[in-house]
Amino acid sequence: MPRSLRTTVPDNQEIAALIAQRVRGLRASRAWTLDDLAARSGVSRRTLVMIEQGQANPSIAVLSSIADALGVAFVSLVELGAREQVQVVRAGEGARLWEGNDGGSARLAGSLPGTTELWEFRMSPGEEYLGSPHPGGTKELVHVSSGELTLNVVDRTLVLGPGDAATHPADVPHGYRNEGSGPVVFSNLVQYPTPQNEQ
C-alpha cells in the first residue's frame, strides 16, 4: 500500500484484513451473495472468497472492479484510518491501476473520501487503456498535460492535445489511446455519485 494513503506503510496482513472487512460488509449491506458480487464485478467467486477471508493480495484492477460493482470509490476499500486535513502524494507513490506494455502507467494521485479520485496516466505510442463502466452517475474529467490523447466514449472519438480537457459519463464503455508519435501525459478525475446515506 502506498504511503499516499497514510504516513506509514502498513503490512500486507493489515491491508488484507481491511479489504476483507470492507468487501464483506459492503456485500452484506446489499444482501448480495458471493455469486451476486461475482456476476456484477466479473471477479471469480473463488477470488472473492479468498479476498473476504483476508487470504488474497488482489491487484488494483481487481479491487477497482469490485468497487465499481459495489458502487463505491476504489479508495473506500483500501484507505486506512482517519484522513489528515492535508494529504500529500509524492511522485511515483500512488497505487498503480494499470501498466502498459511499453512503460505506460496509471497511478492514483489523490482522492477525496468516497467520491473523487485523481489519476495520472502516462502512455507510450500505441498503448491503450479500456475503462470498465463505473457505477451509474459517475463522471470523468480528463486534462492533457503533454502529447496527444484519443478519447473514446461509447461510439464517439475525440482527439485531445496539450491543455485540452474533456468531461464525459464514465458509467458507459470508455477508453484512452495514444495514437500519436510521442508519449502522452494526462490527468483523469473520477467523480462518483455521493452515496445516498451521505446526501
Mean pLDDT, residues 1-6: 31
Q: Helix, strand, or coil here: 143? A: strand
- Identify the top-confidence range among 11-15, 130-134, 155-159, 192-196: 155-159
Going by pLDDT thresholds of 50, 70 and 90, the confidence category of residue 197 is: very low
| Model confidence at 196: pLDDT above 80 | no
* pLDDT, tens only, 164-177: 999 999 999 999 99
Of the candidate ranges 22-31, 86-95, 127-136, the one whose mean pLDDT is the lowest = 86-95
Q: What is the pLDDT of residue 45?
A: 93
Mean pLDDT, residues 123-148: 92
| Model confidence at 85: pLDDT above 70 | no
| Alpha-carbon span 125 to 165, nearest angstrom | 20
Going by pLDDT thresholds of 50, 70 and 90, the confidence category of residue 91 is: confident
Q: Helix, strand, or coil here: 48? A: helix
Mean pLDDT, residues 21-30: 89
Q: What is the pLDDT of residue 35?
A: 95
Q: What is the pTM of this model?
A: 0.67
Of the candidate ranges 19-33, 97-111, 177-191, the one whose mean pLDDT is the lowest = 97-111
Q: What is the pLDDT of residue 89?
A: 66
> Do 118 and 189 touch, CB atoms closer than 8 A?
yes
Cell of 82: 482517519
In sequence order, which residues have a C-beta less than 8 Å from that of residue 165 and are 6 or more positions away? 141, 142, 143, 144
In this predicted model, which residue has the larger pLDDT, 97 or 134?
Answer: 134
Task: Report in angstroms the alpha-carbon separations of 117 from 36, 44, 59, 107, 173.
Answer: 26, 26, 17, 10, 18
